[in-house]
Amino acid sequence: EVQLLESGGGLVQPGESLRLSCAATGFTFSNYGMDWVRQAPGKGLEWVSAISGTGGTTYYTDSVKGRFTISRDNSKNTLYLQMSSLRVEDTAVYYCAKVVWRQIFDIWGQGTMVTVSS
Amino acid sequence: EIVMTQSPATLSVSPGERATLSCRASQSVKNNLAWYQQKPGQTPRLLISDASTRATGIPARFSGSGSGTEFTLTISSLQSEDFVVYYCQQYDSWPLTFGGGTKVEIK
C-alpha cells in the first residue's frame, strides 16, 4: 500500500526553525516528484514547495523562498522540509504529496501541524 | 502567479440533485487543471486531472470540463458523502496555485 507519513511538526516561536519529514512506503520513491502543501486552520490549500525525483530541481512559493529548503534522501525514502525564520503566518498543517505526473497529487500524507506562536 | 478563483464559496444543493462548481484562472492554464475533494478531518483526494480525466476509482457522477481559463466540476447526482469541500489546482506554471475552495452543503 502506498503511504506517506509526516512527522516533525510542533509548537515553535517566531524566528525558530523546524524540520519536517515524510516517510514514503509502497512505491519506488526516487521515480516520483514530491511536494509540500500546507493548510492553515480553517483555510484552503496552499502549495509550498516541490522537488524532482532525483532531487536536482526544486521550486518554492515566494513567501517561503530563502527560509524553507526542500530535500530528499532516496536511500531512506524520505522527503524533508527544513523551515527557518518561521513566522506566525506559517502556522498550518503541512502535507507531503506524491506527484503522479506533471504536478498532480495522487497520494497525500495525513499531515503534521506546525504552530508558530509566541 | 496565476490566481484561481472558485465560485460559489458555498453551494447549497439537495441530495440527488446536480451540483455545478466553477473555477476560473487569471490566465490560460490550457487543460492543466485538477480537482480535489476534501472531507472534514481528511486529506485531499484527487478527483479529476487534465480538466476532465477522472482519477482511478472516482465515480462516474463526477465530471470535469473546460479549458483555458474557465473550468467546471459537475456532480450529477449528489450523494451524502459528496457534501464536502472541493478545490481546483492549476499545474500549468510555477508557482502551483489552488482555488479557495467550494463547500457543497445540504439544502
Over residues A99-109, the mean pLDDT reads 94
- pLDDT for A32 equals 97
Over residues B3-12, the mean pLDDT reads 97
CA distance A66 to chain B (A): 15
- If you ran DSSP here, which 8-state letter would residue B55 be given? P
A41 and chain B in contact, CB less than 8 A: no
A103 neighbourhood in chain B, CB within 8 Å: 91, 96
CA distance A49 to chain B (A): 9
Q: Cβ B55–A106 below 8 Å, yes or no?
A: yes
Task: Tell me which residue of B17, B29, B38 sits closest to B91, measured CA to CA.
Answer: B29
Task: Give backbone dihedrals phi and psi of A62, rounded to 5 degrees, phi first.
Answer: -60, -35
Q: Is the pLDDT of residue A20 over 90?
A: yes
Q: How far is CA B34 from CA A22, A80, B5, B94, in A?
A: 23, 25, 13, 15
Q: Using CB atoms, which residue from A59, A60, A106 is nearest to B46?
A: A106
Task: Tell me which residue of B32, B49, B28 sits closest to B91, measured CA to CA.
Answer: B32
pLDDT category of residue A101 using cuts at 50, 70 and 90? confident
- pLDDT for A64 equals 98
Neighbours of B3 (CB within 10 A): 12
Under a CB-based contact definition with an 8 Å cutoff, are residues B85 and B29 in contact? no
- What is the Cα–Cα distance from A19 to B30, expressed in whole angstroms? 36
C-alpha cell at B46: 484527487
C-alpha cell at B69: 481559463
Q: Where would I find the beta strands (DSSP E) of chain A? A: 3-7, 10-12, 18-25, 34-39, 45-51, 58-60, 68-73, 78-83, 92-101, 104-108, 112-116
Over residues B34-59, the mean pLDDT reads 97
C-alpha cell at B39: 472531507
- If you ran DSSP here, which 8-state letter would residue A26 be given? S
B 51-90 → A contacts, CB under 8 A: 55, 87, 89
Instruction: Please report where in the chains the cell 466553477 appears, as a residue.
Output: B22
Phi-psi group of B83: left, alpha or beta (phi > 0 → left; psi -120 to 50 → alpha; rest → beta): beta
Q: Where would I find the beta strands (DSSP E) of A52-91? A: 58-60, 68-73, 78-83
Q: Judging by DSSP bridges, how do beta strands B45-49 and B19-25 pair with one another? A: unpaired
C-alpha cell at B19: 451540483
Percent of chain B predicted with pLDDT > 90:
100
- pLDDT for A107 equals 96
